[in-house]
Amino acid sequence: MSNEKNTAAPAANAPSPNFLRAIVENDVAAGTHAREGLPPVITRFPPEPNGYLHIGHAKSICVNFGLARDYQGRCNLRFDDTNPAKEEQEYVDTIIDSVKWLGFSWEQNGDSHLYYASDYFERLYLMAEYLITAGYAYVDSQSADDIKKNRGNFGTPGVNSPFRDRAPEESLAMFRDMKAGKYKDGEHILRIKMAADSMASPNMTNRDPAIYRIRHAHHHRTGDAWCIYPMYDFTHPISDALENITHSVCTLEFQDHRPFYDWLLATLAEGGFFKQPVPRQYEFARLNLTYVVTSKRKLRDMVDEGIVTGWDDPRMPTIVGLRRRGYTPEAIQLFCERIGVSKADGWIDMSTLEGCLRDDLDPKAPRATAVLRPLKLIIDNFPEGESVECSSPVHPHFPERGLRTFPITRELWIEQDDFMEVPSKGYFRYFPPIGDAPGSRVRLRHGYVTECTGYDKDAAGNVTAVHVKYFEDSKSGTEGSNTYKVKGNIHWVSAATALEAEVRLYDRLFTEPQPDAGGRDWKPFLNPNALEVVTAYLEPGMSAAEADQRFQFERHGYFVADRVDSTPGKPVFNRVTTLKDSWVK
C-alpha cells in the first residue's frame, strides 16, 4: 500500500492535533525541507533486530508512519543492525511482518524504502576517519572499567582519558588496524571529543561518547567483512541524513542525545558529507502500559524460562502475541490515536487498550453461542430423537448479515452457574422445586420456556444434570411465546450436535499494574490465572471457523480461532477479551 495522499494536511476526520503534527505542519507550510524530487516529510522507524516488537513499538510505528501518511510523505523502515552479537535474521523477518500486519508500508510509487544501517558501513567508516583527521575523534586504549570510572557521574565531572590528546595520525593508524582485525575485543575504542571541556559536561551523553568498538562477530548481512562496528548514537543521525529524513522522531530517553545528534550532523555537513538542512530530532513520551513489561530482556527471560510458550504467546505484549491473542491492527491503531502524543511521561491503563479492542470488534464480530463450563440439561418431555430448528441473528445490529440456525434437542448443555440448588436472592435461572413451590421457569434463548423439575448428583455430591419440562407453545417467535413471562433467559447448545472445542481463557499476565516498578523483581506478580484451558461446547456452525476469524461468544466475550493450532473443522479458540472490564475497581 502507498503512504501517499492527495492533500498536504490531514482530513477533517484525521487524528487529533499534537505537538509533532504542529511542527510538521509548520515545516510543510514554510518549505523547511523542500528538496527537488523528495516529499516534504520523510520519517523513519528504526528498530534494532535483536528481539520481537511489542506494544510500545506499535506506538512509534503509528506515529512515524502516520505522520508520513497524513502529510504527503513517506516513512522508511530501517534496521539498526550494528550489534551482530545480538541480532538475527529471525528478528528482521518478524519486524517486517509486524509492520505490514499493522497496516503500514515503506513502499511508494513502486520504490522500496527498506534500509539497513549495515548498508552504510563503508560511508560510516570514512566519516569516522574524517573526524579523526579533523581532530574530533581519538582512539582510547583504556579498559572498559577505567572508561566507566573516569566518566564521572551526574554530580562529578569526568576525567580526560590519558589518550585524549593522542595525535590524529596515531589514532588514524590504530583505527585502521582495528578495522584490519589486529586487536582483540575491547582493547581499543574510538571516541568523540565535541569540545575541550566535554568531560565536564552536565549532559553525560556528551562526555566523549564512543562511536566505534571492536567486535569479532559474524554479522547476519555483512558476514565477516567487519570486526569493528559503529555505535547507535553515531550511526543513527548519519543514517537519517543519508536517507534525507526530515523529522527524526524518537522517545524521551533520547532527549539527552540530541546535542550530539545535532553536533555530529553539523560537523559532518561542514566536512562536505551532507547538505543543509540536516534532519532534526524530536522526542515524545514512550508508551508505559499497565500490567505488562516491555523490556526485551525480561520478555526474552519469559520465553527462555518457559513462563510463556514463545514470543507469540497470547499473554505477551509483543505484536505477534497480540495478533495471536486476536487483536486487530485497527484496534491497535485506534489505541495509539486515543492515547495521543505528548512530551510528558505517564501510565496508560490496560483497560484503554482493551476498550479500543471491544470498540473495534463489536460491529465486526459475528455472534455465536458457546458453553464454557458445561452442565447437562435434560428436557424430560421433549420427544427422544427429535429436534426443532432455532435461529438467531448473525449480528443483532446488522440484520442484513442474516441468521444462523441450530437445533434444540432433548439433551442440551448449559453453563454450570445457570443452576443453583438453593437460589440466592434475585437469582432467576434454574433452581429446583422448594417445598410446595414449583421450580423456576427459564427461557432457553431463541427456544422454549422450561420449568425446572429436579436434578441429579454423583457420589461426590456434584450436580451432573438438571431436569426440566418444556412448554410446547412457548417457542420464541411464535404467538404463544407472548403468554409466558419469565425473568431468566439463558444460552445453550444441543448435546447431540454441539462442537466440542478447546477454549483458552487468557487474562492479564500480571496482577500488579506496574510489576517491575523501581527495578523490583517482577516474577512474584505473575498472574496464576492468566491462562485457563477448558473443553467447551459450541453451536455446530462453529466447526467452519477459520484461523484468525473472530467471534463474540454471547455472554462470555470476544474469541478468535487460534492462527497456529486451529485445523479445518477443529478450531481452537483464544479469548481475546471479556465483554466488560473485569479488572475495574
- The annotation status of 59 as a binding-site residue, yes or no, is yes
Measure the CA–CA gap between 62 and 75, rounded to whole angstroms: 11
Tell me, yes or no, if 48 is annotated catalytic. yes
The owner of cell 492462527 is 563
> Which entry of 5, 25, 48, 411 is annotated as an active-site residue?
48
Give the model's pLDDT for residue 585. Answer: 62
- Tell me whether residue 60 is annotated as binding: yes
- Residue 162 lies inside a defined structural domain of this protein: yes
pTM of the model as a whole = 0.92
CB 20 within 8 A of CB 341: yes
Answer for the pair 445, 489: CB distance below 8 angstroms, yes or no: yes
Establish whether 48 is an annotated binding residue: yes
Burial of 217 (0-12, 13-18, 19+ CB in 10 A): middle
193 is catalytic: no
Which run of H or E residues covers position 449? strand 449-457
Does residue 251 have a known ligand-binding role? yes
Burial of 168 (0-12, 13-18, 19+ CB in 10 A): middle
**Residue 129 sits in the same domain as residue 222:** yes
Helix or strand or coil: residue 58? helix
- Burial call 74-111: b when 16+ CB within 10 Å, e when fewer: bbbbbbbbbbbeebeeebbebbbebbeebbbbbebeee
Choose the weakest-confidence range: 172-181, 183-192, 338-347: 338-347
Determine if residue 220 is labeled as part of a ligand binding site: no
Cα separations (Å) of 137 from 191, 210, 538? 6, 9, 69
**Under 8 Å between Cβ of 140 and 159:** no
Confidence at residue 292, expressed as pLDDT on a 0 to 100 scale: 96
Among 5, 100, 166, 286, which one carries the catalytic annotation?
A: 286
**Residues 494-515, mean pLDDT to the nearest whole number:** 97
- Asked if residue 86 belongs to a known ligand binding site, the reply is no
pLDDT at residue 10 greater than cutoff 80: no
Rounded-to-integer distance, Cα 276 and Cα 263, Å: 13
Domain span at residue 460 reads 374-491
Among 5, 100, 296, 469, which one carries the catalytic annotation? 296
Q: Is residue 136 part of a domain?
A: yes
Catalytic residue status for 343: no
* Residue 49, marked binder: yes
For residues 468 and 525, membership in a common domain is answered with: no
- Read off the C-alpha cell for 67: 505522520
Separation of alpha carbons 505 and 531, rounded Å:
6
The residue among 435, 466, 491 that closes a domain is 491
For 358, residues 6+ apart whose C-beta sits below 8 A from its C-beta are 558, 577, 579
142 belongs to a structural domain: yes
Asked if residue 318 belongs to a domain, the reply is no
pLDDT score of 140 = 98
442 plus 519 within the same structural domain: no
**Domain count of the fold of the chain:** 3
Q: pLDDT tens for residues 17-35?
A: 899 999 999 999 999 998 8
Provide the pLDDT confidence category of residue 545 given band limits of 50, 70 and 90.
very high
What angle is formed at CA 221 by the lines to CA 173 and CA 111, rounded to 5 degrees?
115
pLDDT in tens, 105-147: 999 889 999 999 999 999 999 999 999 999 999 999 999 999 9
Please tell me whether residues 466 and 397 are part of one structural domain: yes
CATH number of domain containing 444: 2.40.240.10
Report the C-alpha gap between 382 and 273 in whole angstroms. 86
* Residue 118 three-state SS: helix
8 A C-beta contact, residue 455 and residue 376: no
- Domain contains 157: yes
pLDDT tens digits, 196-215? 999 999 999 999 999 999 99
